[in-house]
Amino acid sequence: MPAVAPSQPVLPSPVVYPATPGDLDPLAEVLAQVFYPPSGLQRWIYPIRKLGIREELRLRLAARDPHYCCLAAAVGSEVVGTAEISLRVTAHGKYPYLSNLAVLPGWRRRGIARLLLLSAEGVAKGWGYRCLHLHVLEDNLPARQLYAQLRYTPIERTSQLWRWLGIPPQLLLCKWLP
């Protein structure tokens, strides 16, 4: 008789939805953990950074801008990721721009970032736009691989001047939406 493998707990599927003011604390936690991990000396200012992130996010949500959307990704009742979409204004016009795509480290490589991206694309299309832009750090190979799989293409590289200022080079990516 073959051995039976121990059963793994079945986790609920991730769900992406427009964030509400009730999501502020978990969203701030996700953003703070991803962009300002509380390690070393950073752990002492972590609560202050998280509070600042929460307040900025609260203001963006309260503004009720029709061309701003904060998405939350949850597994069960736990918020594990987020992304924001807004319009950027340039000399060439307005375009939808994705920012603050973040997934908690323990939840990465499970398709959550992909779900957030696809949901953001749906938001941009709902606004009547045919493309979505985002920046990625040039050396963030896992993120670049995901974006390439979803047909985002590089259209611009930040200036070398940023590197001299200690800011890592970034690529501006664009995806034309069907």
Homologous superfamily of 15-128: Gcn5-related N-acetyltransferase (GNAT) (3.40.630.30)
Distance CA 38, CA 44 (A): 8
Q: Are 79 and 73 within 8 A, CB to CB?
A: yes
Q: Which residues pair with 78 in a beta bridge?
A: 75
Could you read off the pLDDT of 54-107 as tens digits, one per residue?
Answer: 999 999 999 999 999 999 999 999 999 999 999 999 878 899 999 999 999 999
Whether residue 4 has pLDDT greater than 60: no
Q: Is 71 helix (H, G, I), strand (E, B) or coil?
A: strand
Q: Are 89 and 67 within 8 A, CB to CB?
A: no
Q: Is 68 helix (H, G, I), strand (E, B) or coil?
A: strand
Task: Read off the pTM.
Answer: 0.89
Per-residue CA distances from 41 to 33, 37, 45 (Å): 14, 10, 8
